[in-house]
Every structure is written in C-alpha cells, then in structure tokens.
C-alpha cells in the first residue's frame, strides 16, 4: 500500500501538470472574438408606378466556420479537458492519501509530507466545488493547477517521509479533531489566496496598468468576481480555523498541562488568526480599499506557510513532529 500510494502521488503530479497545460491553452486562445463576413441583403425601393429597384448592402453576420470561431471552440475544449484532468487528479490524489493511511494504519497527517498532501487535496476539492457553482471562473484554474503542481511536487520530491508510527504525544482522539480542522481550514485558505493574488492583478489591469504582471490578468474573470470568491472562502474557513486553534489548546492542556505556552507553532497560529480576523474586519469596513483587503488575505496565507514550513524546519518546540 505504501508503494501504491507513492505511485499514485507521482501520477497525480503529472495529471495536475497536464491540467495546467490545458488551462494554459484555454488562457492563450480564449479571447478570440467572432469575426463577421459580409452577406448581401436585397433591399427594395419603389420606383415610379410600382416599379422596384433592387439594391444590395453589406450586412455583417457571424461566420460560423471562421478561424476565430474555431479558435474559441478549441479554447473551450481545452478548458473542459483541463477541468476533467483536474477532477481525475483529485481522485488519484485522494486515492494516494487513502492508501497511505491504510499502510500507516492511522490518519495520514503525521508529518509534513502527509499534511501538505492533505491540505492540497482539500484545496483542489474545494476548487472543483467552486467550478460547479460558478463555471465562469474556470480560467482561474491555470493558477490553481500551478499551485497544485508546485505543492504536490514539493511534497513528493522534498518532504517525502517513509511511513512511521505516530509519536506518543499524537496518539489521541484530539489528533483527529484538531488536525482535521486545521487541514480543512488550511486548504480553504490555500484556495482563497489564489483569487486574492489574481484579484490584485486583474484590478490593476482594469485600471489601465499594462506592465507585467498585470498583463497576465487580461483574460481572467472580472476583479469583482474574484474578490467575492476570496471573501466567501475566508469567511467560511475562519470559524473552522478558530475552532482548530481552540481544540489545540484543549489538547495541549490534556497533553502538556497548559493550554497555551507560546510555542513557535502556537505563536504563528495566533499571528495567522489575528491577520485573518483583520482581513474579515477590513472587508466589512467600506472605507478600507479592496486592494489592502486582498493583501491581508495574502499576508495571512504567508503566515500559514511560515507555520507549516518555517516553524517545522527552522524552529524546535513541542510541535516538532515533522520529518523532512
């Protein structure tokens, strides 16, 4: 099962890469516009006693077989194939996690490799749900699949850890309660960071900026749509993250005799919580510019990454369970 899990993760990375290529094709071709071909229309005008003169005029009508229409159809097909590949990748991704858990005889969240795989799966699963609800956001898939390729490849190539039993401190039912909610919230924050970055690029393009990286956003959905998506994801994830932090404090009381000790991971979790709370407060305040709000969402996810990678790699504390 362990070998099967490793193979499934490798295949998942390749499928996400193919999905990203499909989205890139759609992104490159998707702005083609229908061309028109002149069609002759007969126009009658009465002349004298009932005589009719026939004139012709050009009437622009869509050419269904024109090159622009064919390009648009190809872009649409590439986008649909990309979504299908993303869904296939998500299924393989889940299968890799399930087989990893079966091999380990526990939930597959015991180290950084497993945690990153699970967070990225939650992110891609939430993305597919968003696509079902709002298909018009599909072109954002290029950026989402890029993030998936980077995360899953990093987990496989850099963070991979052979299966080992849980350390005694993690052998508790709180492991499932606390870590599952942290994983779920982190996956949603991951997805929420993508439209936040895309919003800043698209908003700049809509204001007339044509320098890099704003030109990359000319084929993205409208800035307002991505800003709303960012808010919805964060508003949904924040209460879950709050519960996860509180559950961690309860577990710490039972395991270490104190609910809070300013351990590095606890400290960075608190920093993330404050920033995300600030994001929601700023989003609800009309006087705060939307650009600043988006930057808060990005900063919040940066602190989540710091908590996952920086704390586990560079700091030592009671939460130092990750093997890298």
**Extents of the domains making up the chain:** 167-319
Kindly write down the DSSP assignment for every residue of 58-94, as one continuous string: EEEEE-TTSHHHHHHHHHHHHHHHHHHHHHHHHHHHH
Distance CA 209, CA 201 (A): 9
Strand partners, 44: 54
Kindly write down the DSSP assignment for every residue of 135-185, as one continuous string: GGGGGGHHHHHHHHHHHHHHHHHTS-----PPPGGG-SHHHHHHHHHHHHH
The answer to which of 45-49, 272-276, 303-307 has the lowest mean pLDDT is: 45-49
Long-range Cβ pairs for the range 73-80 (8 Å, 24+) = 74/25, 74/29, 75/25, 75/26, 75/28, 75/29, 75/30, 75/32, 76/26, 78/22, 78/23, 78/25, 78/26, 78/29, 79/22, 79/23, 79/26, 79/30, 79/138, 79/139, 79/141
Q: Three-class SS of residue 320?
A: coil
The pTM is what? 0.84
Q: Looking at residues 23-32, what average pLDDT do you find?
A: 80
Give the total residue count for the chain. 324
Two tokens at 324? 């890298």
Interval 111-170: pLDDT, tens: 889 999 999 999 999 999 999 999 999 999 999 999 999 999 999 999 998 888 777 767
Interval 64-102: pLDDT, tens: 556 667 778 888 899 999 999 999 999 999 999 999 999
């Amino acid at each position: 099962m362990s070998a099967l899990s490793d193979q499934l993760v490798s295949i998942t990375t390749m499928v996400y890469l193919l999905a990203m290529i499909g989205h890139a094709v759609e992104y490159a071709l998707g702005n083609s516009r229908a061309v028109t071909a002149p069609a002759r229309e007969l126009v009658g005008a009465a002349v004298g006693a009932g005589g009719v003169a026939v004139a012709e005029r050009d009437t622009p009508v869509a050419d269904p077989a024109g090159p622009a229409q064919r390009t648009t159809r190809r872009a649409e097909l590439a986008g649909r194939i990309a979504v299908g590949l993303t869904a296939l990748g998500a299924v393989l991704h889940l299968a890799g996690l399930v087989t990893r858990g079966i091999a380990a005889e526990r939930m597959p969240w015991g180290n950084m490799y497993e945690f990153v795989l699970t967070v990225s799966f939650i992110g891609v699963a939430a993305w597919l749900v968003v696509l079902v609800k709002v298909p018009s956001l599909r072109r954002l898939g290029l950026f989402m699949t890029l993030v998936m390729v980077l995360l899953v490849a990093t987990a496989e190539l850099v963070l991979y850890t052979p299966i080992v039993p849980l350390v005694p401190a993690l052998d508790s039912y709180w492991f499932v309660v606390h870590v599952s909610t942290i994983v779920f919230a982190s996956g949603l924050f991951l997805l929420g960071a993508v439209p936040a970055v895309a919003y800043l690029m698209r908003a700049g393009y809509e204001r007339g900026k044509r320098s890099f990286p704003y030109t990359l956003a000319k084929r993205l959905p409208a800035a307002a749509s991505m800003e709303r998506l960012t808010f919805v994801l964060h508003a949904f994830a924040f209460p879950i993250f709050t519960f996860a932090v509180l559950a961690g404090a309860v577990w710490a009381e039972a395991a270490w005799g104190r609910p809070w000790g300013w351990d590095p991971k606890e400290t960075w979790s608190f920093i993330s919580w404050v920033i995300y709370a600030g994001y929601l407060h700023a989003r609800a305040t009309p006087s705060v510019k939307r650009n600043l709000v988006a930057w808060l969402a990005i900063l919040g996810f940066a602190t989540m990454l710091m908590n996952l990678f920086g704390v586990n790699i560079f700091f030592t504390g009671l939460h130092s369970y990750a093997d890298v």
